[in-house]
């Protein structure tokens, strides 16, 4: 057997092993997040006295994309208070024909923003346990939180989701939530 043929067989064998390792590795599944469709009049939040207009991201009816819905909230003294009120409105669900992304039993225990622009949002366990619709439902819930906070509060660049005060690797098995998530608006 020639040296060139032996080298070719060894290279093919190594490629086969590397491919098998990549295929059967334990790394989490990565999915693309749903696209986001902007409302017809894209606006940033406005303050008006003690009320503030924010944009909440819900699932468009019959489509796997997130869409904005404006909502008035009572303005808080701090960004953290405003962000928490905004998420409470997200949990309440849409006022239009759009579909809710969050289970109604989800509650926000705490929210804080660090100096690097990461918001840490601590939910009760119902956020995790009440999601039952698979990967698309988990993607919609996670990115409705991320997109709502990062769109409305320029100082928030990323969002880390916590459950009962601790990090979780995923809510239901599809989206890696071990690290803070940044929005990726796709129009």
Domain residue limits, the chain: 32-167
pLDDT digits (tens, 9 = 90+) for 111-169: 999 999 999 999 999 988 888 778 888 888 999 999 999 999 999 999 999 999 998 88
Q: Select the more confidently predicted residue: 43 or 174.
A: 174
The answer to whether 94 touches 100, Cβ cutoff 8 Å, is yes
Assign 1 a pLDDT band (cuts: 50, 70, 90).
low
What's the pLDDT score for residue 33? 46
Please provide the DSSP assignment of 86-148 as one string: HHHHHHH--SSSSBP-S-TT--EEEEEE-TTSEEEEEE-THHHHT--S-HHHHHHHHHHHHHH
Query: What is the pLDDT at residue 10?
Result: 73
Are the beta carbons of 113 and 157 closer than 8 angstroms? Answer: no
Tell whether the model's pLDDT for residue 13 goes beyond 80: no
186 pLDDT band, cuts 50/70/90, is low
Cβ atoms of 169 and 176 within 8 Å: the answer is yes
pLDDT of residue 152: 96
Query: What is the per-residue pLDDT across 25-82, written as a single tens digit (0 to 9) for each?
Result: 444 444 444 455 444 444 445 444 588 999 999 998 888 889 999 999 988 788 899 9
């Amino acid at each position: 057997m020639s040296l060139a043929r032996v080298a070719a067989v060894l290279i093919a064998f190594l490629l086969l092993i590397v491919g098998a390792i990549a295929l059967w590795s334990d790394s989490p599944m990565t999915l693309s997040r749903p696209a986001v469709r902007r409302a017809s009049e894209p606006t940033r939040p406005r303050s008006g006295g003690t009320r503030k207009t924010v944009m909440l991201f819900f699932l468009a009816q019959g489509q796997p994309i997130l869409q904005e819905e404006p909502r008035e909230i009572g303005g808080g003294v701090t960004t953290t208070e405003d962000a928490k009120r905004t998420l409470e409105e997200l949990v309440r669900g849409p006022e239009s024909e759009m579909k809710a992304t969050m289970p109604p039993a989800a509650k926000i225990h705490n929210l804080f923003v660090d100096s690097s622009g990461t918001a840490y949002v601590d939910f009760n366990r119902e956020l995790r346990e009440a999601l039952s619709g698979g990967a698309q439902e988990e993607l919609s819930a996670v990115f409705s939180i991320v997109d709502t906070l990062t769109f409305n509060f320029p100082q928030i660049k990323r969002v880390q989701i916590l459950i009962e005060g601790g990090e979780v690797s995923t809510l239901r098995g599809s989206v890696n939530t071990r690290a803070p998530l940044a929005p990726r608006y796709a129009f």
